[in-house]
Amino acid sequence: MTMSELLFESELSWVRPAHVGLFLVFSVSIYLAVSLVQRSHPAKLDLPIFEVQNEVVKTIEEAHKKYPDSPFVLSLVGMEMVILPRSSIDLIKSLPETHVSIKKHHHDVFLGEYTYMGTKTEEFDAAMRHDLTRNTPTVLASFNAEVQHAIDENVGSCRNWTPLKPRAAMCRVASLMSGRAFVGVPLSHDEEWVEATVNYTGNVTQAWLHLRTLNRFVRPFVAPFLPQVKALMRMREMTSRKMAPLLEEIARGDDKGESSDTAGGDMIRWFQARYDTKPSARELARDQLLATFASIYNLSNALTYLIFDLASYPECIEPLRRELDEVLGDQKTIDKDHLQRLKKLDSFVRESQRHSPPSLANMPRVVTHPDGLRLPTGQYLPQGMRIMVRAHTLNMDPELYPDPTRFDAFRFSRLREAPGSEFKYQHVTTGTDNINFGHGVWACPGRFFASSQMKVVVAHILRNYDIKLPEGQPRPKQQHYGLAILPDATAEVVLKSRV
């Protein structure tokens, strides 16, 4: 147990105002001293520096225009990073963790001491990369079993045109859908569990927004006092407590059966099977929290964008419905074979992600090799330097995507009509033309899970609701926090039930 955990366990009962005052004076003194040292010994890089003031997209586009084939430094509040060109993708994807580390990046940025991000998690990694990917039918069964309940609870019956804020609704939909696959009912429907999983990533983000403005040497002293970090620690304890009865049930060999009412909860069993010895509730809670962090945040954002796009581009709706009718017929569930045949839906989801990806840059790494890293473009990067590959300019590259600013829902399904391209250009396909899920050995292992869930939800909405933007309103704009791209949480669409 770390000192920070001990502080949380005691609920800071020993703290008095005088202690806090002395602590703050001490922290500020350290911060000023270290900052002065750092300023007098700046990192020396032979690269142009672009400082982000307000317009991060404009800054990246300006930098890319000046240096399309070479790296540049992007300076954000609390962080500097080297943004690499497309030509570096193959190098970065092939280098081992001993040279450039995605885990080091995640541990530093996502508060690994409190969230487990970037920590040693071989069992979790193996389950996500192997079990989750090859058990698509099982995962789909849980999604099919949950989608009606999730949408009924968070969208409901809309006899007349009814306003909906997709961001809030899709956070809960993603929590319910993913929770059904991870732990199953009844735990996935437990309100405390749902609220905690919905708020988890938000607490991580808020904590990071506070801590990133402080020098890294000061952060360990400040973190235990932040309400958002305290909330993360409470969620760790709650997750362990809530999962204990479920693990006892599994240990007794209770059969969850094969009916749709009991579908789900398989992920926790896959996690268990990856351990050499019986895992504790705390270890499996860690795996659950990692899965929550990896899935719900990006899934809820992607689902929100998809709803915005359905409402903004009504010409897409009827072709998508026709495809669903042709492929599914009278069936209400989607299986693995259906997913392969729903090419227009797959294209729509990929085009939505191209316009609204998770981040303006991707493939994050920290240079970990003591000798640093020599780039294909010739520049040298020292150990400890953060790097990412520009994604925004890749997504908007006219050589890759003709008329790139236009939302072309069936751009990719048309490309797949060419002989030999039937299995190319899919939503989950990564490459030097698409790094929105990363690329290479560290490409997002949950992308098949995420893509399947998106399609089940979108198909359900298309078959059960009409959808449009409020009268006279344009498509909601994206919001940018650093390099992250987020949907407008206040924006609305209007829906009406079809039956």
Angle at 363 between CA 201 and CA 353, to 5 degrees: 70
CB burial of residue 164 (10 Å; 0-12, 13-18, 19+): buried
Report the relative pairing of strands 373-374 and 100-101 from DSSP bridges: unpaired
Closest by CA position to 227, among listed 6, 27, 12 = 12
- The strand pairing partners of 380, in sequence order, are 374
Q: Which residues contact 275 (CB under 8 A, 6 or more apart)?
A: 123, 283
**Amino acid, res. 347:** S
φ/ψ (deg, to 5) at 359: -150, 155
Query: Residue 243 and residue 197: Cα distance in Å, rounded?
Result: 13
C-alpha neighbours within 13 Å on the C-beta side of residue 154: 25
Closest by CA position to 8, among listed 217, 244, 223, 239 = 223
Closest by CA position to 492, among listed 479, 480, 474 = 474
Query: Residue 443 and residue 427: Cα distance in Å, rounded?
Result: 13
Q: Is 211 left (phi over 0), alpha (psi -120 to 50) or beta?
A: alpha
- The strand pairing partners of 374, in sequence order, are 380
Taken as a whole, the chain contains a residue count of 499
- The strand pairing partners of 51, in sequence order, are 75
444 is in an annotated binding site: yes
Helix, strand or coil, per DSSP, at residue 401: coil
Burial of 55-80, coded b for 16+ CB within 10 Å and e otherwise, reads ebbebbbebbeebeebbbbbeeeeee
Pull the structure tokens for residue 287: 């795996």
Closest by CA position to 76, among listed 93, 59, 64 = 59
- The strand pairing partners of 486, in sequence order, are 479
Pull the structure tokens for residue 254: 């209770």
Helix, strand or coil, per DSSP, at residue 387: strand
**Cα distances (Å, whole numbers) of residue 314 to 107, 157, 167, 409, 491:** 42, 21, 20, 11, 18
**Amino acid, res. 402:** P
Query: Residue 207 and residue 209: Cα distance in Å, rounded?
Result: 5
Binding-site residues from annotation for heme: 444
Binding-site residues from annotation: 444
